[in-house]
Structure 1
């Protein structure tokens, strides 16, 4: 991935040269030479990487490895120059300049090392060009073309679409509906990439299956599972965290929850032929009432040992020629509604599809890659030729298509893709953590005036559109919130990441490391060049971090990303992070859901490069220190769900680069040291804002227009949880959001009638609306529009509004663009149908209260 490392570094270098800081200018000649060499090398590094892999050439491999290390070192030097410039600027007017001249030692060492790096890179460039027989005069393809931005930076493919599985799902559903006594076991058996999990998911999510079973439980079984992990996963599905119980107690709890219920359990992707663990669990499961188990596996013997009778084993078939082409069209031509508008390209496309041999995963990977190809015959024919080459090396169309898809990624996306190598098998990953990591390490290129969050989201869309990541959960408006990767995709990711020293499973000699349970001191000792250390534990699991690792953490001085979320510490976190100020290159600090975090340490003040600070779900955090307002580069500040936090420090308006602010609590009128809501007026780059309001004096009479100036704001959440006093209703009613708002979430609003500004005239661009909890019994008259002004809302969520009354037909009239409706725990909405024949393309979720 030398081309990826070069691309990420060049992005930083170009931006830094534009800033013209003191020490960067001091070495401008060397940085310019470096820039010129690397821009030239961008033209052929992608080909060099492909040749290195295909020919297994050790010489070329060594050249690329050395180049990669030199780029990392140059990146660290660039960061040190920026840091030194900032420190000198801070001291320029102080008495220190009289006794301490400019850092001559730093200048000498840095200049010397930059010259050495340039000489070595020039030598490598010459050797690689000679090896590939490249002449400067013949360079036609430019680095700009190699590193072009994606045509589609937003989601264009609906991952819920499936093709050719109607017969499979019908057959399995028939078995499920026929089940009477004992415990029915069904097996779905086939090779990797055939769609076993997709079939099980489709059955699992069908509405009639949902209605038929009282409980539905999905368990992803990794190759390194334990019996206890399986039982805890089942209990999590049933709403029980089950912390601290032994296996016997876990099994008793499972039995208690399922007793007298008709349930469906899916055990997805089982590998182990030793099924004694399943025999023990199965013994504790209640029998009868038509309860069933679906097992997906690649190994027939596994299904048989888990009690599946031969008559209830389903072997998915390869997709037919027509279904293969249909699936490919849905993805490759998603931007034109799944239609191929060029007959010549259709011929080439069908040749590509034929090489996938009816395997859905291969078709999706190639289809996602072709979505980003321009509709030119030359580009499509080139793909056919490369696919042939990959298939010649391995008779495996899935792995060939995945390798080809990786090779064709823009360089900046390769680093993002390899990030998945840190996560354990079947791990559910939050998109937010990925995006924050990519921003923090500079993987997401900032171009064309895009915000950093937008750039990170675009990178995620680039991978999801290419079908390299799988969707796990979406919000009510179909926005992806969590994801994972297929185990065959993970095999490729880990292989490439190990080859290119991005990640190593043993935690040694790599610049990126994941925390899956605990950190070992020796791992950190061998990784002083570590750039990213992230919590990669599975959902509902926690990390245990010993005190002894604190000193080693502080020695990783070039670390950019530190995410210790979902962790328990042996000592107070303030003590563990006492010297965190030594990590002055840190850009992303994640402390979400850590215990015990009571306050942030003083040394944090030194982290002037910090762009993302996440302390959400820290229930014991009582205050943020005043120095937070000095973090000029801060783009994301998340203090959401911090129950003990009363307010944020005064002066927050100084954070002019802030794009995301969640959990903002305005100070009450008697708290002069706290931040008032009026300060939000100056945060003009805010795109996401979460307000936490509890009483009326948090909003002054002269502050009700504080949000109107936020012209970039797209998402606004207003929560009045634990509110008191009727004056808050009046103040919120006057707190007008900006007109361009795209999504609004109103939670725990205490008023009986919705705010007057919640109407299509005041919010003409609103596409997504969520109203949950609270006392709202009716919508204000303005909600229904006036003078034929209609809502542009596409997705609506109404949840836990026990008094809300509303007529379905009236709502349909004022929301003609409505596609998604999610209604739960709203007993007065009797006119809302479960299904509506006129609701074209709609996705319905109408849930009624039920026992847990």
Structure 2
């Protein structure tokens, strides 16, 4: 982790020195000395990080280095802050506080540089050899992910066909025999063997979907409660069940399942199963229902009613299946085939060390996917893997540790951020990538936007199989993810060792916000940089007022995410002093209650880059001073039902890359749609239009010149007035648009600009809800100009009339189609998996 901390600091330092701020310039000599010392030791830090697990002296030295670099980074941030204040106040330079700051900071910087010089010498003496300068690392050229999206199918399964067939046979056999008791099946085996994968394969099989009327998946963590399990079951059955006690929850479960044939999967069950006896008694019996339990402990499955004859033990993958799985991941860029003859032998050697464990194979496969296809590089990895196994014979943990060691430094901090989340927590991608932007984990190079760079980092972890995909949109965009429990074991251990996230050290830099947070506990962690809500799906944090008021006391806090939380008092009063968090870059108040207005001191957060206010239904207004937050890159006010418009002057936020939930003002008292012209860096835009007078005649081309805009969403939910459709028809989206979503479109015919000539680069189109009946004649193209669309979603369009042959003819690149609740569609194939290159049709209008 030391190399990650140093790399992040050096990148910030290089960027800051280029800004020539007054206070940074005054300390330029000291910062440059510090920069040189850190650059010289950078090449040894990765080796030192590996050795610290075996050498306590190196561990202590790196811990000291970590704290010194953090302190230097805080001084650098303070210098930026002072420079900003000085630029805004011509009298600032005579204020005694700033003279004192200059003296104290300069003195401490000299001390830090001296101490880091000593650290460098200590590392050199312990590791041996001179410290060599590595300009590529210093200039920020460390290899970035080669792909900005996932490059292989995350549902990939190899060698489990016999396992799934066996379990399905048991299920159907029980149904044929008509037994009254519930069939209990156990999948038992060591961690990383693929128990969950087998259960998922069975759970998602088309035959199983058609056989059972209800299917429920519950991830049982080691820290669960009986109530949490029942609430999870009810969420699967479509009932939120807020406020019910245990008896009422069980009664509701019974009612939902009564008379139905159901399948329940209890995934990753551990030793204590007393809860199961109480829950199982409340389940309806008969009808051929089935329970599948995955566990590492055979005795656990038997205590839950599984007979020995119904315990399945997945086997290790054989040599051929192991190599096949590895190829599909490591060589995904070449369609899952090894096209480098000199790599096959060393590749098979690496795979052999995984001992047939799918999780280990995926981890090393994902690692090699991101490595250059050179023999010497693969040989180095194979030797490193051998050394890891000599220290730890557990091939899964050895492969995971190896994957972490081989991460680029900028991905290590991103990876450790997952240590805050509880076991089996489903995590939204948006939350973690915003966190990374806010805390500066994302390297900004070659003029790339922050949002694009953060997406690359996320894909880097996905492609390395360190993070698992949970849910995707129709276009392949990952929405949520989670972490395998064995990967989580590793990330928690590393995070504790490096004081990234630990409750045992005052040096802790990050904490997860939970219901049981103690105000006194927070007092200890004065070095916090991130406070992040880590609530599981369907749950909320209930935070006491005294605890919430402490949030504004952490001087160097960069990230404050209190999403999905309920407070006793309005947040505007609880966060009255939030303006004192001068270094805050990411603030999320998403889905909080009660939030009616924002704290007045928000205007003091000059460094704020991400502001997430989504799903704040009671939020009525945004303060006018919001337009002074010139560094803002992400503003999300989507699903804020009471918000009428955004403040006038929003177009001054020239750095905005993402703007969601934009509601144009109907008068001159708020932001008009015409101001979008000034937001030339926008990449993602979400519009909410409800009245025709929200768009004037001189504003139809407001988006036309937004050359970076790739994703546009237009929602007309609860729209009024007959002129709304005509106004929408005259809007002019930019030609380079990559993705378009129309929701609740009020017209019966699609807008004239929705055609392959006006939108030649469009790859994904989603149309959902609304009154649409027919497509405009322009939609079908002209003179052999057809769509380049690869993904299409049509949802809840009860009147839409389309013919599949015509659509197929004008969308020849179509790969994915998601259709649901569109009863008037003609000739659309049903369940056409594999149709013309892998088209997926989900058609529910017959049901």
Q: Same-fold call, TM > 0.5?
A: yes
The Cα of 1:498 is off from its aligned counterpart by 0.6
Q: Secondary structure at the match of 2:500?
A: coil
Q: How far apart in 1 are the matches of 2:73 and 2:99?
A: 21
TM-score normalised by L of structure 2: 0.97
Q: How far apart in 1 are the matches of 2:348 and 2:73?
A: 45
* Equivalent residues in 2 for 1:27-66, closer than 5 Å: 27-53=27-53, 55=54, 57-66=55-64
Question: What is residue 772 of structure 1 aligned with on the other side?
Answer: 768
Question: What is residue 793 of structure 2 aligned with on the other side?
Answer: 797
The Cα of 1:421 is off from its aligned counterpart by 0.5
Q: How far apart in 1 are the matches of 2:412 and 2:663?
A: 39
Q: How far apart in 2 are the matches of 1:440 and 1:389?
A: 37
Q: How far apart in 1 are the matches of 2:538 and 2:327?
A: 38
TM-score normalised by L of structure 1: 0.97
Q: Secondary structure at the match of 1:827?
A: coil
The Cα of 1:141 is off from its aligned counterpart by 9.1
Question: What is residue 762 of structure 1 aligned with on the other side?
Answer: 758
* Equivalent residues in 2 for 1:515-530, closer than 5 Å: 515-530=513-528
Asked if the contact 1:185–1:292 (Cα under 8 Å) also holds between the matched residues in 2, the reply is yes
Q: Secondary structure at the match of 1:801?
A: coil
The Cα of 1:835 is off from its aligned counterpart by 2.8
Instruction: Provide Cα deviations, 1:719-768, integer angstroms capped at 9, x if missing partner.
Output: 00000111000001111211111111100001111111111111111111
Q: Secondary structure at the match of 1:797?
A: strand
Question: What is residue 254 of structure 1 aligned with on the other side?
Answer: 253
Question: What is residue 544 of structure 1 aligned with on the other side?
Answer: 542
* Equivalent residues in 2 for 1:225-244, closer than 5 Å: 225-244=224-243
* Equivalent residues in 2 for 1:287-298, closer than 5 Å: 287-298=285-296
The Cα of 1:134 is off from its aligned counterpart by 1.9
The answer to whether the aligner puts 1:120 opposite 2:115 as a matched pair is yes
Greater Cα shift, 740-749 or 505-514: 505-514
Question: What is residue 216 of structure 1 aligned with on the other side?
Answer: 215
Q: How far apart in 2 are the matches of 1:804 and 1:226?
A: 47
Q: How far apart in 1 are the matches of 2:96 and 2:171?
A: 80
Q: How far apart in 2 are the matches of 1:120 and 1:717?
A: 53
* Equivalent residues in 2 for 1:500-511, closer than 5 Å: 500-505=498-503, 509-511=507-509
The answer to whether the aligner puts 1:628 opposite 2:626 as a matched pair is yes
The Cα of 1:840 is off from its aligned counterpart by 2.6
Question: What is residue 656 of structure 2 aligned with on the other side?
Answer: 658
Task: Indicate how the Cα distance of structure 1 residues 359 and 105 shifts in structure 2: closer, same or farther if over 3 A, else same.
Answer: same
Q: Secondary structure at the match of 2:615?
A: coil
Q: How far apart in 1 are the matches of 2:831 and 2:240?
A: 34
Q: Equivalent of 1:697, from 689, 693, 698?
A: 693
The Cα of 1:250 is off from its aligned counterpart by 0.3
The Cα of 1:679 is off from its aligned counterpart by 0.1
Question: What is residue 391 of structure 1 aligned with on the other side?
Answer: 389
Asked if the contact 1:756–1:780 (Cα under 8 Å) also holds between the matched residues in 2, the reply is yes
The Cα of 1:415 is off from its aligned counterpart by 0.4
Question: What is residue 23 of structure 2 aligned with on the other side?
Answer: 23
Task: Indicate how the Cα distance of structure 1 residues 145 and 402 shifts in structure 2: closer, same or farther if over 3 A, else same.
Answer: farther
Question: What is residue 439 of structure 1 aligned with on the other side?
Answer: 437
Question: What is residue 462 of structure 1 aligned with on the other side?
Answer: 460
The Cα of 1:506 is off from its aligned counterpart by 5.9
Q: How far apart in 2 are the matches of 1:2 and 1:505?
A: 20
Instruction: Provide Cα deviations, 1:255-310, integer angstroms capped at 9, x if missing partner.
Output: 111112121111111112x3221111111111222211111111111111111122
Q: How far apart in 1 are the matches of 2:788 and 2:657?
A: 25
Q: Equivalent of 1:371, from 361, 369, 372?
A: 369
Asked if the contact 1:8–1:442 (Cα under 8 Å) also holds between the matched residues in 2, the reply is yes
Q: How far apart in 1 are the matches of 2:312 and 2:436?
A: 41
The answer to whether the aligner puts 1:730 opposite 2:726 as a matched pair is yes
Task: Indicate how the Cα distance of structure 1 residues 203 and 116 shifts in structure 2: closer, same or farther if over 3 A, else same.
Answer: same
Q: How far apart in 1 are the matches of 2:609 and 2:135?
A: 38
Question: What is residue 470 of structure 2 aligned with on the other side?
Answer: 472
Asked if the contact 1:561–1:586 (Cα under 8 Å) also holds between the matched residues in 2, the reply is yes
Question: What is residue 355 of structure 2 aligned with on the other side?
Answer: 357
Greater Cα shift, 211-220 or 562-571: 211-220
Instruction: Provide Cα deviations, 1:78-129, integer angstroms capped at 9, x if missing partner.
Output: 110011011111012xxx4597478211111111010000000011001111
Question: What is residue 407 of structure 1 aligned with on the other side?
Answer: 405
Question: What is residue 11 of structure 1 aligned with on the other side?
Answer: 11
Asked if the contact 2:40–2:132 (Cα under 8 Å) also holds between the matched residues in 1, the reply is no
Greater Cα shift, 448-457 or 208-217: 208-217
The Cα of 1:144 is off from its aligned counterpart by 6.2
Q: How far apart in 1 are the matches of 2:261 and 2:254?
A: 12
Task: Indicate how the Cα distance of structure 1 residues 539 and 849 shifts in structure 2: closer, same or farther if over 3 A, else same.
Answer: farther
The Cα of 1:510 is off from its aligned counterpart by 0.8
Gap regions ≥5 residues in structure 1: none
Asked if the contact 1:228–1:247 (Cα under 8 Å) also holds between the matched residues in 2, the reply is yes
Q: Secondary structure at the match of 1:821?
A: strand
Q: How far apart in 2 are the matches of 1:97 and 1:514?
A: 38
Question: What is residue 192 of structure 1 aligned with on the other side?
Answer: 191
Question: What is residue 312 of structure 2 aligned with on the other side?
Answer: 314
Q: Secondary structure at the match of 1:307?
A: coil
Question: What is the alpha-carbon root mean square deviation over aligned residues?
Answer: 1.6
Q: How far apart in 1 are the matches of 2:397 and 2:81?
A: 44
Question: What is residue 810 of structure 2 aligned with on the other side?
Answer: 814
* Equivalent residues in 2 for 1:20-169, closer than 5 Å: 20-53=20-53, 55=54, 57-92=55-90, 96=91, 100=95, 103-136=98-131, 147-169=142-164
Asked if the contact 1:40–1:143 (Cα under 8 Å) also holds between the matched residues in 2, the reply is no
Q: Secondary structure at the match of 2:263?
A: strand
The Cα of 1:842 is off from its aligned counterpart by 2.1
Gap regions ≥5 residues in structure 2: none
The Cα of 1:830 is off from its aligned counterpart by 4.5
Q: Secondary structure at the match of 1:103?
A: helix
Asked if the contact 1:532–1:562 (Cα under 8 Å) also holds between the matched residues in 2, the reply is yes
Asked if the contact 1:754–1:776 (Cα under 8 Å) also holds between the matched residues in 2, the reply is yes
The answer to whether the aligner puts 1:173 opposite 2:168 as a matched pair is yes
Question: What is residue 638 of structure 2 aligned with on the other side?
Answer: 640
Q: Secondary structure at the match of 1:847?
A: coil
